[in-house]
Amino acid sequence: MIKAVTGTKDILPSDIPRWIYLEKTVETVFSNFNYKEIRTPIFEETALFARGIGEETDIVGKEMYTFKDRSDSSLTLKPEMTAAVVRAYLEHSLGAQHSLVKLFYMSPMFRQERPQAGRFRQFHQFGAEAIGSKSPLLDVEMIQIAYEILKSLGLKNLTVKINSLGTSETRENYKNLLKKFLQDKKDKLSEDSRRRFETNILRIFDSKVESDQKIIKDAPKLVDHLDEESKADFEVVKNQLAKFEIPFENDPALVRGLDYYTKLTFEIDSGSVGAQTALCGGGRYDLLIETLGGKPTPATGFAAGIERILLACENEKSFTVSEPAIDIYLVRIDDELESFVSELAGKLRKENLSVDCDYLQRSVKAQMREANKLNAKYVLFIGGDEYKEGLLKLKNMSDSLEKILPLEKIHELISTIKK
């Protein structure tokens, strides 16, 4: 039997109510902050991600689902949204209509990572990109939105970590400092980190190897070498977070290796999801729009992983959703009324009621069992002596009270059910 591809997951009908609850929460919070939804294609030209995420990253280097189509174009299933949103922003000149464009999305993403709990090859993210302002208050808005969504989902065990990466000049100077510091310790670093020493030294901070961590812990910190503007912006972020009563930690090891990331970077972790603790990550990327061919435009954003958030919610039992129920199940007592029952179901559905009936010639008892399984609020019995007299029997399943109604008074029945 063919199975789902490793690292992908079916979202079954029983999972859907929790997904919908999350999606509605996300939509409400984004609407409160005046973000408009954007949907981009599942695949893009490979060059977009190579340039927009960076050749040196794990995503581009090792994890992308890249393929040639029949016209020999190199295409890639999107591994993240920022590059795609910026592409759409530039292609449709969205900045010409509004000088600050605030967008949100929910979409599947694809990365060929090693699957484990909370890490998939097809997973879903929601997130935001706000393009056109360099205000640090907009960076705070990103954290606020993410935090508010997670809180609205009832999550408690959260840690907000922040850092500032400064401008690209600051970072160049800092990289030299870091190089000097690591020069005589280089041989003790792991192979990966030795490679990063040459290609992208900041990413040594991402190393999970304990001996690397020991060495890097005493390294000079980027946050202590910021330019004046970045320093001032970082202070604004911290003060504003305090005003919003969002607790945060400074994490000097929170770095992004690419030159177009600037100033604020943040992550929100959960203590309830095992090894993969990050629920969401984001920050400012003032130089990306230029990298993708636009004119210099400051921007900030974040992305959050839906599967991981739902896992945290499940582990914390942070919210419950009620079992989906149908309004009414039609129980057919006489076999020859099959067609009449289906006709009546049609009429009731036109009244916006959720209705089901039997298509398997089941006994009355089996039909009742089905009605219970479906959590039907009402059951309508059709047939027997009552039907011959033009009557129907309606049973309220919550209190078992029964009511006899003449067939022509179907509207009374509808209003009873809708109440």
Contact positions vs ligand AMP (CB under 6 A): 80, 111, 113, 118-120, 123, 125, 278-281, 303-305, 307-308
User: From the CB of 118, what's the least distance to ligand AMP, in Å?
Assistant: 6
User: From the CB of 312, what's the least distance to ligand AMP, in Å?
Assistant: 10
Q: Which residue number is nearest to ligand AMP in terms of Cβ?
A: 305
Residue 307 burial class via C-beta count within 10 angstroms: exposed 0-12, middle 13-18, buried 19 and up: buried
User: How many Cβ atoms are within 10 Å of 368's Cβ, its own excluded?
Assistant: 18
With contact defined as beta carbons under 8 Å apart, do 159 and 268 qualify?
yes
- Residue number, 189 or 268, with CB nearest to ligand AMP: 268
C-alpha distance from residue 40 to each of 37, 106, 131, 323 (Å): 10, 10, 16, 33
The 3-state DSSP class for residue 39 equals coil
For 104, what's the count of Cα atoms within 13 Å in the CB-facing half-sphere? 22
User: From the CB of 268, what's the least distance to ligand AMP, in Å?
Assistant: 8
- Residue number, 267 or 370, with CB nearest to ligand AMP: 267
- Residue number, 78 or 332, with CB nearest to ligand AMP: 78
User: From the CB of 80, what's the least distance to ligand AMP, in Å?
Assistant: 5
User: From the CB of 109, what's the least distance to ligand AMP, in Å?
Assistant: 7
Contacts of 390 (CB under 8 A, 6+ apart): 406, 407, 408
User: From the CB of 376, what's the least distance to ligand AMP, in Å?
Assistant: 37
- Residue number, 112 or 213, with CB nearest to ligand AMP: 112
With tokens 């030159």, the residue in question is: 259
Q: Would you state the structure tokens that stand for residue 390, as one six-digit string? A: 């033009």
With contact defined as beta carbons under 8 Å apart, do 262 and 167 qualify?
yes
- Residue number, 109 or 237, with CB nearest to ligand AMP: 109
User: From the CB of 215, what's the least distance to ligand AMP, in Å?
Assistant: 25
With contact defined as beta carbons under 8 Å apart, do 291 and 52 qualify?
yes
User: From the CB of 356, what's the least distance to ligand AMP, in Å?
Assistant: 36
If DSSP states are collapsed to H, E and C, what string results for 91-115? HCCHHHHCCCEEEEEEEEEECCCCC
- Residue number, 280 or 353, with CB nearest to ligand AMP: 280
Closest CA to 247 of 229, 266, 219, 262: 266
Task: Report d(CA 38, CA 89) in Å as an integer.
Answer: 10
- Residue number, 229 or 316, with CB nearest to ligand AMP: 316
Task: Report d(CA 279, CA 304) in Å as an integer.
Answer: 6
User: From the CB of 221, what's the least distance to ligand AMP, in Å?
Assistant: 22
- Residue number, 166 or 305, with CB nearest to ligand AMP: 305
Task: Report d(CA 326, CA 66) in Å as an integer.
Answer: 44
- Residue number, 102 or 256, with CB nearest to ligand AMP: 256
Task: Report d(CA 403, CA 410) in Å as an integer.
Answer: 12
